[in-house]
Structure 1
Amino acid sequence: MDNDSDKDPRPRSWANSGWRRAAAIGPGEGDPSQDGLVAGTLDEQRSFGAPAGTVSLGHVLARDTHGPHEVWAHAAGRDLSVTQLTPQPCRGHLLRANLGDMGFDAGAFDGDLRVRGVMAQKAFSLVSVMEQEGVLNQWGHRIEEGDIVAIPPDRELDGRFQGRLAYAVVTAPWGLVMQRAEAFEWLADPSFWTEPAIYSPPPEARAACKRVLQGCASLLRVLAGGAPSSTVAFLRDELLDGVLTALAAVRAEGGRRQGVLNAARIVRGAEDFLESGGARQAVQIEDLCLALNISRRTLYRAFHDLLDISPKAYLRLKSMSAARARLLDAGDRPTTVTQAALDQGFWELGRFSGAYRAMFGESPSETLRAAQGRQP
């Protein structure tokens, strides 16, 4: 930032500027180009090591993440089920800020994940795909870089995230969204916001939105723990207006995609049946087909189209990921490796431990010790 920035606590808008992070802050002054997270970067240059905790108004949590559950599931009001689909490390970065009744997440990770669940119980979630190398889908619809996913309160994120991904999420309550939307013509209609949808803004709007999200992420990194109220107010307006401006530019045919496609509907139905029926390991394929009133061939085709995996293999991975999530939560809810495995239907503990290590790159006991070590 230049020398005049100390005199004016309200930063300038990034929406239509040629903002560049390296020019904004010099080395030794919290240079965001060294953070390995801001501007949607996917590299891993720095370990923050800060334990997760409550984030106060204007404060920021910024750290490396060691698995998909940390990136997606651990936030107030968020209830997500994360299943890792391929045996590879899923490392990344996370920035999370509380801006009063608004929230902002920016992150990056590399993996292959099935993610489903409520993003925010009492707020809208506006998810922007900042950078993408791989295949993403939401409700069965293909997502491209620059797309925005709008999810109303208490509605579900439901998709697959495969490859290298950088993302940003703006969460805001209904009243605030409608207040700011009044300036954007057709966005002011409340019916616009009643159903989840994917939006594909034109290239110029995508680029402008990305600049806003990148700029706000960089500023939050620099001001972590000490953002003045005027800067917090600026960030709230800038983030929400930046995303709404991009949404307002969606006019072309096909720019808005809604509804759950057939393959996604079948996978959702299978998951719902599993959650209502107890241990996944005991469920047979015939049970799923009967419950969904579909043929075995249709069931297999849906899973392969959406997740590139058979239903039986997915059940096993979903159980293993659920066991990992339970172990990662051991700092708050004490458990044992044996209990976590048995709760998910793994009766042969030796085989469970070997499969777990092959999938996640560490043993169940190592996951448990790390989680216990993060206790306050």
Structure 2
Amino acid sequence: MGEHLLVSTGELDSFEGLHNAVKGSHVDVMQLERGKLCGTLSHVGIGDFSLSIGSFNVGVRTQRVSTDEKLIIGMLLSAKDRVTHWAFDMQPGDVLVIPPSIEHDGVFQSASSYAAIRFDLTDLPRVFGSEPRLSDAETWRQKNHYRADSAIGMVATQRLPQIVSHLARHPGVLSENSAEFWKQTIVDCMTATIVTSLPPDDYGNLPSAMKMVRYVEDYLEAAGTRPVHVSEICSEFRLSRRSLHRAFHEVFGIGPVTFLRHKRLCAVHSLLRQSAPGQTTVTEVALQQGFIELGRFSQYYRAMFGEYPSQTLGYATK
């Protein structure tokens, strides 16, 4: 598992600990408020991709030098007081785009927390295959910021720390395929605000809904039991999410995200039926299939199958 996903979490006891606020990118930091700086800094690494989440209890000024060749997308998770990046006043959930080799400075006037992802521009087609307009490197060569939709932003600010927390508690569970799924989930959380700010993509002709759904189902069958993210499907078939959503609603009356969740629930059910309690746990199987909020997963599962996942696993021994 080690080569697929690495998770590290450490305590901060001074502003110097924030020099590595974004993994792999040096940040100069100056403390602004009186008091001993305390906080936490976590990094999730999946190949060359990284997610960093930090929190601290006093105000700081941050400056990033222009030598980093990676693209950084940042999100403010929480703030006790004013936070500015360049001339942009940020609110929790807002997203910041820092292009390669662009100097950046931020001011956190008091206790705050943030998240940031870092990757190569060459990875854009793979990361944003579901949105061709975001796959072009030129789109990301200018610094930018996006004001969060209240609902979308709040979901992301809560979900990102949950993902890090759960992955840190289960470091040996995920396969390479599952790690890739969670990478895409992290990207989607960070960039949902950007995607929803795009104008409608009403260009081109949508293939017949039934034909498209059949292509997707063939792709899912070939993937076997590994979890497939909706962004992977969009990238594979060069479709936007809106186009895929229309096709699935026309055929099934539900969107592709719900369809894929049902598909993953069915995969969990089959895996639990094939396993004995001593061989695996419900948590392990759920994480392998992309479920991280286990309470909600259990609710989905019971609503779908009329029993709890632990009951399905128990039946395997009878």
- Scaled by the length of structure 2, the TM-score of the pair is 0.56
Counterpart code for 2:35? Q
Q: 1:122 matched to which residue of 2? A: 69
> How much has 1:190 moved relative to structure 2?
3.5
Tell me, which stretches of 5 or more residues in structure 2 are unaligned?
200-318
> How much has 1:205 moved relative to structure 2?
2.0
> How much has 1:56 moved relative to structure 2?
6.0
| 1:148 lines up with 2:95 in the alignment | yes
Work out whether residues 212 and 238 of structure 1, in 8 Å CA contact, stay in contact via their aligned partners in 2: no
Report the CA distance shift for 1:186/1:207 in structure 2 as closer, same or farther (over 3 A). Answer: farther
Work out whether residues 77 and 119 of structure 1, in 8 Å CA contact, stay in contact via their aligned partners in 2: no
| 1:79 lines up with 2:22 in the alignment | no
Q: 1:244 aligns with which of 191, 197, 210?
A: 191
Q: How many residues align?
A: 199
Q: 1:134 aligns with which of 75, 81, 87?
A: 81
Q: 1:218 matched to which residue of 2? A: 165
The share of aligned pairs that are identical, in percent, is 18
> How much has 1:119 moved relative to structure 2?
8.3
Which whole-Å CA distance do the structure 2 matches of 1:160 and 1:171 have between them?
Answer: 20
Report the CA distance shift for 1:76/1:62 in structure 2 as closer, same or farther (over 3 A). Answer: closer
Tell me, which stretches of 5 or more residues in structure 1 are unaligned?
1-8, 10-54, 253-376
> How much has 1:185 moved relative to structure 2?
5.4
Q: 1:232 aligns with which of 175, 179, 190?
A: 179
Q: 1:175 aligns with which of 113, 122, 140?
A: 122
Work out whether residues 124 and 137 of structure 2, in 8 Å CA contact, stay in contact via their aligned partners in 1: no
Counterpart code for 1:106? I
Report the CA distance shift for 1:227/1:95 in structure 2 as closer, same or farther (over 3 A). Answer: farther
Q: 2:139 matched to which residue of 1? A: 192
| 1:97 lines up with 2:44 in the alignment | yes
RMSD: 2.6
> How much has 1:159 moved relative to structure 2?
1.3
Aligned to 2:57, what secondary structure does the other structure show?
strand
Report the CA distance shift for 1:60/1:225 in structure 2 as closer, same or farther (over 3 A). Answer: farther
Work out whether residues 79 and 119 of structure 1, in 8 Å CA contact, stay in contact via their aligned partners in 2: no
Counterpart code for 1:160? V
Which whole-Å CA distance do the structure 2 matches of 1:236 and 1:224 have between them?
Answer: 14
> How much has 1:67 moved relative to structure 2?
1.5
Q: 2:59 matched to which residue of 1? A: 112
Report the CA distance shift for 1:120/1:227 in structure 2 as closer, same or farther (over 3 A). Answer: farther
What is the correspondence of 1:254-293 to structure 2 with a 5 Å cutoff?
none
What is the correspondence of 1:40-79 to structure 2 with a 5 Å cutoff?
57-73=4-20, 77-79=24-26
> How much has 1:80 moved relative to structure 2?
1.6
Which whole-Å CA distance do the structure 1 matches of 2:21 and 2:62 have between them?
Answer: 13
Work out whether residues 44 and 164 of structure 2, in 8 Å CA contact, stay in contact via their aligned partners in 1: no
Report the CA distance shift for 1:77/1:118 in structure 2 as closer, same or farther (over 3 A). Answer: farther
Which whole-Å CA distance do the structure 1 matches of 2:126 and 2:109 have between them?
Answer: 35
Which whole-Å CA distance do the structure 1 matches of 2:85 and 2:161 have between them?
Answer: 23
